[in-house]
Structure 1
Amino acid sequence: MAVSPPVCDFGWAAPGFSLPGTDGRTYSLEELRGPKGTLVMFICNHCPYVLAVLDRILRDARALQELGVGVVAINANDAAAYPSDSFENMQKMSREKDFSFPYLHDESQQVARAYGAACTPDFFGFDTGLGLQYRGRLDASRRDAAPEGTRRDLFEAMKQVAKTGTGPQEQVPSMGCSIKWKAV
C-alpha cells in the first residue's frame, strides 16, 4: 500500500542515533553530519518504490557528498516478516551496489519512530545545525522510475540547503511502501 509522509516541518531537530552499519561499524548522527547539511534516508531492500529509483538515489547521494552533505540510509523494516530486509541482505545490497554512504540497521525501530518515518523511501534533509529543511520526494518517480531527465527534486533541494542553509518552500511528499512495523 502506497503511503506519503507529511510535509516538511521546517527547523524540526534531527533525533540522534547510534546504529550498526553493514560495514561492521556503529555510526552516530553526529559523526555522519556533513559540513553543508545531512541527508537521512529510510530505505529497504524489497520495496518496489526504492528499487525503481535506487540507482538515482546512489547517483544523487554521491553528488551531494561532493557538495559537503553527509548521507546515510536506514532500514527499519521488520526482517522477520520481510526476510529480504535482513541485515545480511542489507550487507549484500550495499556491497553489490557500492553504496557511498553507511547503510544502517534500525532493528528496534526506535529511530524510525523518532523520525516519524512513514514510507520507503522517506527523505529527511537537514541544514548544518540539523534542522529539517526538506521532507520531499527524490523526483516524480512512483512505483516505476520517471523518465530520464526528470527534475531531481531531492538533489536540487539539498543543493539549495548546502548553499543557503534553507530548503525550498514548495515540496512534494515522497511516496512508497509503508514502514513494516513489528507487531507489538
Structure 2
Amino acid sequence: MAALETPACDFGQAAPDFSLLGIDGKTWSRADCVGERGLLVMFICNHCPCVKAIRERIVREARELATLGIGCVAIMSNDPQDYPEDSFENMQRIAAEFDFPFPYLFDESQEVARAYGAVCTPDFFGYNADLALQYRGRFDASRTETAPPEVRRDLFEAMKQVAETGSGPAEQIPSIGCSIKWRSA
C-alpha cells in the first residue's frame, strides 16, 4: 500500500455541491446532507485497510455528531473496474453490514473527489454551518490497524468544536490512507 497524506486544512474553503447516487437509489446533494451546525464529508471505500480499521468507529462518531447537529455523508470515488470490492453492490453490502447512519454515495465520474481535492481514503472534510472548511485531519491514530479504544478521538473532538464554536482546531494531524483509485485517462 502506497500511503498518501492529506494536505493541510484550507480554512474557510467552501464545500462544493454535488449530486450523487446513493446506495438507497436516491440522488443526494450537499443540502440533503448538511446538519444545522455543519457537515462532515468522508471519502471512503470498501477495500482500503485504513478505512476497514475504523469503520465501526466512523459509525459511532457519525451517530454522536448527528446529536450535535453535524450531518455526515460518505462518498466512494474509486474506480470499481480496477477494484471490484468497491462496486456499488459491495457499497450496499458494507453499508448494511455496518449499519451506516449516513448516506453512502457513488462518485462514478470522480468529479466530486476532484472538486473537493480528495487524495486518499479515508479523507475527511469538516465544515461549519456556513459550509466553510474547518477540519482536514485524521480520524484518530489508527492506520491499517485499529488504534486502542482509549485513543484520542481527533475527528470527533474537532467536529464537536466546530459544532460548538463554528471553528476547527488550529493544530490538525493529516489523515493517511490509500490513494484514490483514479480512472485511467
TM-score interval (norm. to shorter):
over 0.9
- List structure 1 segments (4+ residues) > 3 angstroms apart after TM superposition: none
Mapped to 1, the partners of 2:56 and 2:176 lie a distance apart of 17
Matched, 1:33 2:39: no
Q: Quote how far apart the aligned CAs of 1:95 are.
A: 1.1
Instruction: Give the CA RMSD over aligned residues.
Output: 0.5
The amino acid that maps onto 1:56 is R
What's the counterpart of residue 129 of structure 1? 130
Q: Quote how far apart the aligned CAs of 1:127 are.
A: 0.4
Matched, 1:91 2:99: no
Q: Quote how far apart the aligned CAs of 1:34 are.
A: 0.6
What's the counterpart of residue 81 of structure 1? 82
The amino acid that maps onto 2:157 is E
Mapped to 2, the partners of 1:31 and 1:88 lie a distance apart of 23
Q: Quote how far apart the aligned CAs of 1:145 are.
A: 1.1
What's the counterpart of residue 16 of structure 2? 15
Aligned residues: 184
The amino acid that maps onto 2:57 is R
Mapped to 1, the partners of 2:66 and 2:109 lie a distance apart of 28
Q: Quote how far apart the aligned CAs of 1:114 are.
A: 0.4
Q: Secondary structure at the match of 1:84?
A: helix
Q: Tell me, which stretches of 5 or more residues in structure 1 are unaligned?
A: none
What's the counterpart of residue 54 of structure 2? 53
Q: Quote how far apart the aligned CAs of 1:13 are.
A: 0.4
What's the counterpart of residue 42 of structure 1? 43
Matched, 1:141 2:137: no
Q: Quote how far apart the aligned CAs of 1:33 are.
A: 0.7
What's the counterpart of residue 3 of structure 1? 4
The amino acid that maps onto 1:10 is F
Mapped to 2, the partners of 1:11 and 1:146 lie a distance apart of 30
Q: Secondary structure at the match of 2:54?
A: helix
What's the counterpart of residue 103 of structure 2? 102
* TM-score using structure 1 length: 0.99
Q: Quote how far apart the aligned CAs of 1:45 are.
A: 0.3
Mapped to 1, the partners of 2:12 and 2:105 lie a distance apart of 24
- % identical aligned pairs: 64
Q: Quote how far apart the aligned CAs of 1:85 are.
A: 0.2
1:44-92 CA-to-partner distances (Å, cap 9, x unmatched) read 0000000011111111111001111000000000000000000010011
* TM-score using structure 2 length: 0.98
Q: Quote how far apart the aligned CAs of 1:8 are.
A: 0.2
Alignment of 1:155-170 (within 5 A): 155-170=156-171
What's the counterpart of residue 66 of structure 2? 65
Mapped to 1, the partners of 2:27 and 2:93 lie a distance apart of 17
Q: Quote how far apart the aligned CAs of 1:18 are.
A: 0.5
